[in-house]
């Protein structure tokens, strides 16, 4: 049992490790592996930097003396329909509108600073993605664990239910229900406007996301359920709840962790796509998707308005995915590189 | 085998029934008043009441569902007296906003979506699978790392960003292609190709990225099997080992994924169709949401989900044909 710690990293054992062997927890082993992964460490560094930027957005914008909401008519070219200064001419450069005061340029029409807006957009994007991932993990784990352990009719019912959810055209349903469900949420007491819209996004993203995790968890539970320590617990007369959450759950954290880190970036991208299509937050609130949707109109005049937010979003999603890949390699070395 | 097929078909029918029920409930119970949505702001209570009656929304929900379900099989008639609108057999509802049957609207949008899906499918299967195999055979070398890097970027980038960037550079900046304007391939093949080229590439890139990974992992799994070692040990040439023993077993799971993805795409690629203004089901769906054209939204949802459920069955059955190790009981 003791050596199992090294040969089967995805299933931590709870038994005591004999004295002469240096005991290392699963997370210590995984971290050791992660640290040797150069790409993963770089991505983690960039990610931490981005997270700090989001966290410190108010401080950063204050220091730079920019603000995501205030209008800057001085930065706009009034004779050319309110495009950023220097962008109206056919000969204007690729990165017109960018200045020392506004490193990412300004929004056409309003002159709001794009740098500040992107920082705040990052915050909201991360807030939605993190919350949705948390809800997804809770739902997926709960249903997966129950489905796998209880089996029989319950398992079948949950399975059919998941099939049904997965058959739905996700994007279309989210779009179609946004109006009515946001109203319902507001009627239920969620503050009107953006809070209700954010709640809606978190809810629908999780509702369409949990079945994938539940399937993974169920598969794992099916094999864990047959192991000796579960049998022992049953023999000692533990209740189902104790077996599920104290005996089985701790063995599931590796697959859950892997799933969560790989789901987060897809939620960021989906949220951006939804705002792009017009379901996200209300206009003055900064958001990647909404900015990109707006940039389509100005694409030929202000390329940087499309390229800067888009690249930023891409970097965010790619680094999250890189970290997710490395986490998977560290926790389950056999999965990625066979 | 026959028993299995019968059971699968039965459970599929049950699924489809359940699907209509859920979709129906979602869209008829959740909105506070569906009849109110049928006309805009300048709407008198009389018009709302008339629409409510014409659409059958004054009936109890269960009766409404029954009428809706019956409509799919035998058609139905909306309204009463002189102002009636007939809706033919697979009746998914009548769009009063567009003055047309939902089925007809979906049929009109289908060609664009179909061509988009088929073209992208061919592109992504050929490129994704071949690069995946290549990458597996060069495991650990720089070629493998390059392919996997491209794949990572491909499935990380939001599709609308790739779409917009290509639109900006290829069409606006370098003017290599004219602005997208969809025509039927039978009418003007050149313009059709010029319009579809970028949408195909955008969609294909997205899916190919995923298929590269999938194929690579499948191939590596298969090449690690005992029977591959046996094949090598009995002196077969490497090419034959890969082709006859590796590919066949390694690629069967790809068929499953490909079938489901193609079915999903036939229900409309919302973002790609929007960016390149293709008049397909995806665009229709978004427009129906924007105009609060509830019957049309419900209809498209049902059709799209049906594609996926049916594809699920086909793929499962196909699996047994391709992989003789699968026994259907």
Query: DSSP for B153-203?
Result: HHHHS-HHHHHHHHIIIIIIIS--SPPP----TTT-HHHHHHHHHHHHHHH
CB contacts < 8 A (A, B): 127
Nearest to A175 by CA among B304, B310, B308: B304
Residue B6, Cβ density class (10 Å: 0-12 exposed, 13-18 middle, ≥19 buried): exposed
Average pLDDT, rounded, for chain A = 82
Closest Cα of chain A to B81: distance in Å? Answer: 32
Residue B14, Cβ density class (10 Å: 0-12 exposed, 13-18 middle, ≥19 buried): exposed
The answer to whether the beta carbons of residues B38 and B308 sit under 8 Å apart is no
The answer to whether the beta carbons of residues B181 and B195 sit under 8 Å apart is yes
Cβ contact A314–B161 (<8 Å)? yes
* Residue found by looking up tokens 């292609």 in the block: B177
Q: Answer yes or no: CATH 1.10.3720.10 is held by domain A114-335.
A: yes
Task: Report the pLDDT value the prediction gives residue A178, as an integer from 0 to 100.
Answer: 84
Task: Report the pLDDT value the prediction gives residue B328, as an integer from 0 to 100.
Answer: 59
- A61-64: long-range contacts at Cβ-Cβ below 8 A with a sequence spacing of 24 or more? A61/A115, A61/A116, A61/A119, A61/A120, A64/A103, A64/A115, A64/A116
CA–CA dist B12, B4 (Å, integer):
12
Task: Report the pLDDT value the prediction gives residue A1, as an integer from 0 to 100.
Answer: 38
CA–CA dist B91, B71 (Å, integer):
5
Interface test with A, best of B156, B286, B303 (most A CBs within 10 A): B156
pLDDT digit string, tens, across residues A298-337: 877 788 888 888 989 999 999 999 898 888 888 876 654 4
The answer to whether the beta carbons of residues B241 and B228 sit under 8 Å apart is yes
Residues 6 or more apart from B301 whose CB is under 8 A from it? A168, A169, A172, A173, A176, B23, B27
More confident residue, A17 or B196: B196
Confidence of residue A4 (pLDDT cuts 50, 70, 90): very low
Radius of gyration of chain A (CA): 24
- Dihedral sign from CA coordinates of B223, B228, B229, B235: negative
Closest Cα of chain B to A14: distance in Å? Answer: 31
* Partners of B48 in the β-ladder: none
**Which of A18-22, A147-151, B157-161, B323-327 is most confident?**
A147-151
Reply yes or no on whether the pLDDT at A125 is more than 70.
yes
Looking at residue A88, the DSSP 8-state letter turns out to be S
Reply yes or no on whether the pLDDT at A9 is more than 50.
no
CA atoms within 13 A on the CB side of A63: 6
Whether the CB of B160 is below 8 Å from some CB of chain A: the reply is: yes
Q: What mean pLDDT do residues B279-300 have?
A: 88
Task: Report the pLDDT value the prediction gives residue B81, as an integer from 0 to 100.
Answer: 57
The answer to whether the beta carbons of residues B41 and B52 sit under 8 Å apart is no
Confidence of residue A36 (pLDDT cuts 50, 70, 90): confident
Phi, psi of B56 (to 5 degrees): 75, 20
* Partners of A83 in the β-ladder: A77
Q: What mean pLDDT do residues B177-192 have?
A: 88
Out of B165, B264, B286, whose CB is closest to A175? B286
Out of B168, B220, B297, whose CB is closest to A299? B168
CA–CA dist B95, B127 (Å, integer):
41
Confidence of residue A3 (pLDDT cuts 50, 70, 90): very low
B 98-137: CB under 8 A from A = none
CA distances to A83, B101, B156, B194 from A291, in Å: 15, 36, 19, 28
CA distances to A209, A265, A288, B162 from A125, in Å: 17, 10, 8, 19
Interface test with A, best of B214, B266, B289 (most A CBs within 10 A): B289
Q: What mean pLDDT do residues B141-163 have?
A: 88
**Which of A221-235, B39-53, B105-119 is most confident?**
B105-119
Nearest to A271 by CA among A298, A297, A291, A299: A291
* Partners of B86 in the β-ladder: B77
CA–CA dist B219, B210 (Å, integer):
14
> Which helix (H) or strand (E) covers residue B96, if one does?
none
Task: Report the pLDDT value the prediction gives residue B35, as an integer from 0 to 100.
Answer: 66
Provide the 10 A C-beta neighbour count for residue A246. 11
CA–CA dist A246, A244 (Å, integer):
6
Nearest to A125 by CA among A323, A271, A11, A320: A271
- Percentage of the residues of chain A whose pLDDT score is greater than 90: 21
Task: Report the pLDDT value the prediction gives residue B319, as an integer from 0 to 100.
Answer: 78
Whether the CB of B314 is below 8 Å from some CB of chain A: the reply is: no
Reply yes or no on whether the pLDDT at B32 is more than 70.
no
Cβ contact B161–A292 (<8 Å)? yes
Q: Which of A247-256, B36-45, B95-104, B152-161 has the lowest mean pLDDT?
A: B36-45
Residue B176 tokens read as 């290599």
CA of residue B138 relative to chain centroid, distance? 33
Average pLDDT, rounded, for chain B = 84
**Which of B1-5, B95-99, B130-134 is most confident?**
B130-134
User: Which residues of A fall within a CB distance of 8 Å from B300?
Assistant: 169, 172
Provide the 10 A C-beta neighbour count for residue B89. 11
Q: What mean pLDDT do residues B90-119 have?
A: 88
**ipTM score assigned to the predicted complex:** 0.81
Phi, psi of B94 (to 5 degrees): -125, 125
Task: Report the pLDDT value the prediction gives residue A180, as an integer from 0 to 100.
Answer: 79
Confidence of residue B327 (pLDDT cuts 50, 70, 90): low
Interface test with B, best of A40, A167, A265, A291 (most B CBs within 10 A): A167
B 231-260: CB under 8 A from A = none
Residues 6 or more apart from A261 whose CB is under 8 A from it? A320, A323, A324, A327, A328
Residues 6 or more apart from B178 whose CB is under 8 A from it? B171, B191, B194
Whether the CB of B150 is below 8 Å from some CB of chain A: the reply is: no
**Strand ranges, E, within chain B:** 76-78, 85-87, 94-95, 100-101
* Residue found by looking up tokens 């007809």 in the block: B104
Task: Report the pLDDT value the prediction gives residue B200, as an integer from 0 to 100.
Answer: 95
Closest Cα of chain A to B219: distance in Å? Answer: 10
Task: Report the pLDDT value the prediction gives residue A2, as an integer from 0 to 100.
Answer: 41
CA–CA dist A284, A94 (Å, integer):
26
Residues 6 or more apart from A29 whose CB is under 8 A from it? A5, A6, A9
């Amino acid at each position: 049992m003791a050596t199992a710690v090294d040969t089967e990293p995805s299933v931590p054992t709870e038994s005591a490790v004999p004295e002469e062997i240096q005991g290392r927890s699963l997370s210590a082993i995984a971290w050791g592996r992660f640290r040797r992964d150069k790409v993963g460490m770089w991505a983690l560094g960039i990610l931490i930097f981005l997270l700090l930027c989001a966290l410190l957005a108010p401080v950063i914008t204050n220091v730079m003396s920019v603000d995501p909401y205030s209008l800057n008519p001085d930065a706009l070219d009034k004779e050319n329909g309110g495009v950023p200064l220097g962008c109206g001419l056919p000969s204007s450069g690729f990165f017109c509108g960018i200045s020392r005061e506004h490193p990412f340029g300004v929004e056409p029409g309003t002159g709001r600073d794009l740098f500040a807006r992107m920082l705040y957009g990052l915050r909201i994007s991360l807030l939605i993605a993190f919350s949705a991932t948390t809800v997804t993990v809770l739902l997926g784990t709960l249903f997966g664990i129950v489905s796998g352990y209880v089996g029989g009719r319950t398992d079948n019912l949950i399975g059919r239910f998941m099939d049904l959810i997965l058959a739905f055209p996700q994007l279309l349903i989210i779009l179609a229900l946004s109006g009515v469900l946001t109203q319902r949420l507001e009627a239920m007491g969620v503050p009107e406007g953006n809070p209700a819209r954010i709640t809606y996004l978190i809810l629908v993203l999780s509702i369409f996301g949990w079945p994938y995790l539940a399937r993974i968890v169920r598969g794992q539970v099916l094999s864990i359920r047959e192991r000796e320590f579960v049998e022992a617990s049953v023999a000692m007369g533990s209740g189902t709840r104790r077996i599920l959450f104290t005996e089985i759950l701790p063995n599931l954290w590796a697959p859950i962790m892997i799933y969560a880190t790989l789901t987060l970036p897809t939620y960021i991208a989906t949220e951006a796509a939804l705002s792009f299509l017009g379901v996200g937050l209300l206009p003055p609130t900064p958001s990647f998707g909404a900015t990109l949707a707006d940039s389509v109109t100005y694409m030929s005049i202000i390329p940087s308005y499309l390229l800067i937010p888009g690249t930023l979003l891409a970097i965010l999603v790619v680094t999250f995915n890189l970290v997710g890949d490395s986490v998977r390699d560290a926790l389950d070395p056999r999965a990625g590189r066979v | 085998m026959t028993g299995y097929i019968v059971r699968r078909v039965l459970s599929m029918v049950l699924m489809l029934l359940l699907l209509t029920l859920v979709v129906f409930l979602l869209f008829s119970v959740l909105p506070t008043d569906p009849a109110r949505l049928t006309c805009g702001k300048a709407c008198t209570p009389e018009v709302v009441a008339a629409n409510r009656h014409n659409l059958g929304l004054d009936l109890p929900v269960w009766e409404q569902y029954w009428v809706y379900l019956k409509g799919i099989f035998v058609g139905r008639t909306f309204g009463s007296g002189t102002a009636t609108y007939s809706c033919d057999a697979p009746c998914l509802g009548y769009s009063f906003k567009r003055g047309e049957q939902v089925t007809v609207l979906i049929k009109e949008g289908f060609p664009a979506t179909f061509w988009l899906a088929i073209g992208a499918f061919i592109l992504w299967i050929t490129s994704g699978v071949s690069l995946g195999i290549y990458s597996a055979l060069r495991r650990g070398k720089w070629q493998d790392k390059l392919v996997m890097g491209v794949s990572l970027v491909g499935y990380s980038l939001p599709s609308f960003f790739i779409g917009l960037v290509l639109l900006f550079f290829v069409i606006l900046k370098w003017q290599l292609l004219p602005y997208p304007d969809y025509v039927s391939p039978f009418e003007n093949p050149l313009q059709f190709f010029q319009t579809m080229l970028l949408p195909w590439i955008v969609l294909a890139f997205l899916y190919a990225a995923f298929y590269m990974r999938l194929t690579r992992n499948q191939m590596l799994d298969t090449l690690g099997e005992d029977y591959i070692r046996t094949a090598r040990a009995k002196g077969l040439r490497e090419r034959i080992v890969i082709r006859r023993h590796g590919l066949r077993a390694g690629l069967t799971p790809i068929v499953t994924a490909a079938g489901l993805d193609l079915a999903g795409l036939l229900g409309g690629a919302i973002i790609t169709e929007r960016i390149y203004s293709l008049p397909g089901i995806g665009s229709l769906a978004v427009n129906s949401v924007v105009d609060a054209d509830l019957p049309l939204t419900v209809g498209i949802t049902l059709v799209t989900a049906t594609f996926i459920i049916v594809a699920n069955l086909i793929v499962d059955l196909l699996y047994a044909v391709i992989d003789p190790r699968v026994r259907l009981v």
